[in-house]
Amino acid sequence: MTRDLTSGRRPEILFPYYTSLTALKGVGPKIAPHLIKHTGPYVRDLLFTLPVQMIERPVTRIAEARAGQVQTIRVTIGAYHTSAGKGPQRISVYDDSGDLQLVYFHAIRGFEQKHPVGSQRWISGKIEAFGQTLQMTHPDYVVDQDSRDQIPEFETVYPATAAVSSRLMRKFVQAGLQNVPDLPEWLSPPPDSGFSEALRSAHSPTAPSDLLPQAPVRQRLAYDEALAHQLALKSRKQHRQASPALSISEHLWADKALAALPFTLTQAQFRALEDIRDDLRSGFRMNRLIQGDVGSGKTLVALMAMIDVAEAGHQSVMMAPTEILARQHYEKSLPILEALGINTILLTGRDKGKEREARRAQVASGDARVVFGTHAVFQDGVDFQSLHFCVIDEQHRFGVGQRQRLFSKGESVHYLSMSATPIPRTLALTQYGEADLSILDEKPAGRQPIHTAVIPRARLSEVFDRLKAAIASGSQAYWICPLVEENLESDLIAVEARHKSLQDALGHEVGLVHGRMASNDKEAVVSRFASGDLPLLCATTVVEVGIDVPNASIIIVEQAERFGLAQLHQLRGRVGRGAAKSACILLYDTPLGATAKARLELLRTTEDGFVIAESDWKLRGEGDILGARQSGFPAYRFVDPVAHADLISKAAREAQYILQQESQLSPERLKALDVLRGLFDWRADQADKAD
C-alpha cells in the first residue's frame, strides 16, 4: 500500500523547531505578541525569516573615512556641546588621524555618564560630510573596548516593525539557531551543504551576493521548500486518485446537443472534453482544471460534461463568483438544456421567500439536474439529492473552506475548475499542482482579431471624437476606469466623474456600473447594455469577466498602466465576440516608465494570453500575476517563483519520482522525507489559511 507522506505524527527531531517563540531568552510577554504576529508562533517561523539586506561595517580611521558609507572607528570622547534650546547634541570625538562629530537630535539620558570625556569607544554608523566637518548622526553603535564584538563586520538586516527592530530579530534568530538540531539529509545524491548548514549560512551572509535568490544556500533552502510543497500536492492528488467515485460513461445526450450547435468544437475543446470523460468513467474522483484564454469555450466544454451527469440521473452544479457571471452561464446554457428536457435552475443571493424555497425544493428532490449559482449554492438549507459533479468558475476567487462546503453537498464529488486567466507553468505547478490540467489554446471559429492601440491620455479629446462617430454608426463600447469616486489622495480617474463627462461629450445616456452598486441595479444596467438600449457602458473592472455583448466592439481603458497585464487582457476579451472588427484603446499617463511601456507594448503586439502571462511574469517578477493576490497561492518563505522557476519544475519531477518509487526507497530516506514534510508542514500552513 502506498505510504502517505502528508500525514502522521510530527517527527521528534522537529520538536525544537516547533518550540514556541516565548521559550527564547528575551521574548517576554511584552514583545512576544508583536514577534509572533511578525513571523509566526514557532522558532521555525523566526528562522524561516531571512535577512533582506546586509550592512558591511569595515574598520577604518577618521582620516580615511568616506562620506556616505557605514564605517566602524575606534575613537576617544573629546567634548560635549549642548545647544541652547532644543538644538541637537554634538559630541566631539577623535583618533590619531583626525576629528569627527557625533550628532543626536534628541538628548539621550545618561549618555555622558556612560561615555565620559577621555574614554575610548568603538563607534559605527554612516559617515556624513557637513561642510568641512565629518559627522555621524545617531550612530548605530557606541560601545566600550570590552564590547567590541557587539559590532558585526557584516550586519544582517531583517524585516522589522515598529515593535520588533532588525537588531532584536537578529538577536532572537541567533538564539533560535543555537537551539535547533541538524536534520538528516533527504536529497539524493546529497548536495554539498545540508539544510541545517544552509539555514545557518543564510543568516550569516558575508557578501551582498549571499542575499540573492541565486546564492547557493538560498537555492538549497528554496529547493527543499519547493520539494516539500510538491510532495504535499502530489500526495493529495495520489490519495484523491485512489478515492472511489461514481463512474459515468454515457454521453448520448451531449452528443445530440453538440450535433445541434451551429458550429463545431475546436480540437482543444474536444481534447478537454475527452479528458473530463476519461476522469468521469475512471471510477475515481476527478480534480481537473480547464485553463483557457478569454473566449476559448471553457463553459461549453463543462456544460457537455454536466449533461453527461444528468443523463446518468445525477446532479451537477456550476458556481461562479458573481451574480452577473452566474446568470450569464445560466442564460447561455438554458436553450441547450431545455432542448434535452433537462430541468435547470439558477440560485443566487437575490432569491427570497417562496421563490427561494421553491428552487431549493427542486434541488432537494433531484428534479433540478443542473444548477447554476453564486455562493448561494453552498449555503445551509441548500441540499442536493444526488450531487456528483461540481464546476467552479474562477476558482481562485473562492476559499478552500467555501469549496469544501460545496463538495460536502454530495458524496465523493467530481470537481472541475475553470480559469480564464492564463498563468505561467511555474505558477500552475504551485497553485494547481494537485489538479490535472486541460488547456484550451484555440479560439472558436468566427472570433475576430482585436486591434489594440496604446495612446497617451493627452489625446483624450481625439478619442472622444472617434468614440462618438463609432456610436453614431451603431457600435457599442465599454469605458473602463480604476476608481469609483473622487479621492483627494489619488490621481486616478473616478468612474462617476468620467461617466458625467462622457454623457456631456457624447450627448447620449451612458450606463454606469461599479462594485459599490446593489446587484439589482448592476443587473439592470448590464441588461440594458446587452439589449442595445445603452450604447456605452462606463465601468470599473466589475466587467472584467461575465459580460458577453457581441455587439460591443470597442473597449477603452483609462490609465491602463495602473492595471495588471492579465487584467487588461481579460478586459480586452469583452470585445471581439461578434462579427464586427473590434478595437481596444489603452490610454496612459505620461511619463511612462520602461517596464510599464514594455508591458503595454506586449499587449499591443499579441492576443495570446499564455504569451502575455509568461512575459508579464518575467517583466515584473512574481508580484501579483493574477491582478490580485489569490486564495491558495503558497506563502513561500524561501522560494522566489520567478528566480526559482527551474527549481520548482525540478522539485515537481523529483516529488513524482519519490511517490512512484517510495516502496524501493531506504527506510533512512523515507524517514528523512517525513522530516522534510513535517518541517514545512504545508497542510497546516496553507490549506487552513486559504479560506
Question: C-alpha angle with apex 89: 85 to 91, nearest 5 degrees?
Answer: 145
Q: Does position 206 have pLDDT exceeding 70, yes or no?
A: yes
Could you give the CA distance from residue 202 to residue 217 in angstroms, rounded to a whole number? 6
Q: By CB neighbour count within 10 A (0-12 exposed, 13-18 middle, 19+ buried), where does 204 fall?
A: middle
Closest CA to 536 of 525, 546, 548, 523: 525
Terminal alpha carbon distance of the chain: 32
Q: How confident is the model at residue 64 (pLDDT cuts 50, 70, 90)?
A: very high
Could you give the CA distance from residue 195 to residue 215 in angstroms, rounded to a whole number? 14
Could you give the CA distance from residue 352 to residue 321 in angstroms, rounded to a whole number? 19
Query: What pLDDT is attached to residue 623?
Result: 42
Q: How many other β-carbons are positioned within 10 Å of the β-carbon of residue 177?
A: 16
Mean pLDDT of 398-416: 87
Q: How many other β-carbons are positioned within 10 Å of the β-carbon of residue 117?
A: 12
Q: By CB neighbour count within 10 A (0-12 exposed, 13-18 middle, 19+ buried), where does 338 fall?
A: exposed
In CATH, the architecture of 252-440 is: 3-Layer(aba) Sandwich (3.40)
Comparison of pLDDT for 668 and 635, the residue scoring more? 668
Q: Does position 345 have pLDDT exceeding 50, yes or no?
A: yes
Mean pLDDT of 645-672: 91
pLDDT tens digits, residue range 318-327?
A: 999 888 888 8
The H helix count followed by the E strand count for the chain is: 22, 22
Q: How confident is the model at residue 205 (pLDDT cuts 50, 70, 90)?
A: very high
Mean pLDDT of 340-348: 95
Q: Which residues pair with 416 in a beta bridge?
A: 288, 391
Mean pLDDT of 101-126: 91
Query: What pLDDT is attached to residue 491?
Result: 55
Query: What pLDDT is attached to residue 426?
Result: 66
Give the least confident one: 53-62, 216-225, 304-313, 499-508: 499-508
Q: What mean pLDDT value characterizes the chain?
A: 86
Cα-based distances in Å from 488 to 460, 491, 497, 498? 22, 7, 13, 16
Residues across the chain: 691
Per-residue H/E/C for 233-261:
HHHHHHHHHCCECCCCCCCHHHHHHHHHC
Q: Which three cell numbers stand for residue 691?
A: 479560506
Query: What pLDDT is attached to residue 619?
Result: 65
Query: What pLDDT is attached to residue 641?
Result: 78
Q: Does position 343 have pLDDT exceeding 80, yes or no?
A: yes
Closest CA to 536 of 497, 480, 492, 584: 480
Query: What pLDDT is attached to residue 105?
Result: 86
Could you give the CA distance from residue 272 to residue 632 in angstroms, rounded to a whole number? 24
Mean pLDDT of 80-107: 86
DSSP assignment of 24-69 equals: STT--TTTHHHHHHHH-SBHHHHHTS--SEEEE--EE-GGG--TTS
The rounded percent of the chain whose pLDDT value lies above 70 is: 90
pLDDT tens digits, residue range 17-50?
A: 999 999 999 999 999 999 999 999 999 999 999 9
Domain 58-151 -> CATH class:
mainly beta
Q: Does position 240 have pLDDT exceeding 90, yes or no?
A: no
Q: At 350, is the secondary structure helix, strand, or coil?
A: coil
pLDDT tens digits, residue range 597-651?
A: 888 998 898 888 778 877 776 665 544 433 333 333 457 899 987 788 889 889 9
Query: What pLDDT is attached to residue 272?
Result: 95
Q: Does position 685 have pLDDT exceeding 60, yes or no?
A: no
Query: What pLDDT is attached to residue 649?
Result: 87
Same fold, 252-440 and 450-606: yes
In Å, how far from its chain's centre is CA 302? 26
Topology of domain 450-606 in CATH is Rossmann fold (3.40.50)
Q: Which residue has the cell 521559550?
A: 23
**Which pTM value belongs to this model?**
0.69
Q: How many other β-carbons are positioned within 10 Å of the β-carbon of residue 120?
A: 13
Q: Does position 465 have pLDDT exceeding 70, yes or no?
A: yes
Mean pLDDT of 252-276: 94
| Whether 595 contacts 620, CB under 8 Å | yes
Query: What pLDDT is attached to residue 448?
Result: 74
The single-letter DSSP state of residue 669 is H
Q: Does position 684 have pLDDT exceeding 50, yes or no?
A: no
Amino acid at 545: V
The residue ranges of every structural domain in the chain are: 58-151, 252-440, 450-606
Mean pLDDT of 274-286: 94
The dihedral through the CA atoms of 548, 550, 556, 561 has a sign that is positive
Q: At what angle do helices 216-241 and 195-202 cross, to 10 degrees?
A: 130
Strand order across the 315-319 sheet:
344-347, 370-373, 315-319, 387-393, 414-419, 287-292, 436-440
Exposure string (b/e) for 532-570, b if CB count within 10 Å is 16 or more? Answer: eebbbbbbbbbbbbbbbbebbbbbbbbbbbbbbbbbbbb
Could you give the CA distance from residue 67 to residue 598 in angstroms, rounded to a whole number? 38
Query: What pLDDT is attached to residue 618?
Result: 67
Q: How confident is the model at residue 1 (pLDDT cuts 50, 70, 90)?
A: very low
The rounded percent of the chain whose pLDDT value lies above 90 is: 53
Comparison of pLDDT for 42 and 564, the residue scoring more? 42
pLDDT tens digits, residue range 478-518?
A: 999 986 555 655 656 688 889 998 998 888 899 998 878 88
Give the least confident one: 154-163, 187-196, 397-406: 397-406
Closest CA to 638 of 688, 689, 685, 687: 685
Give the least confident one: 7-16, 138-147, 467-476, 643-652: 7-16
Query: What pLDDT is attached to residue 259?
Result: 95
Q: How confident is the model at residue 235 (pLDDT cuts 50, 70, 90)?
A: confident
Q: Does position 16 have pLDDT exceeding 60, yes or no?
A: yes
Query: What pLDDT is attached to residue 33?
Result: 95
Query: What pLDDT is attached to residue 409?
Result: 92
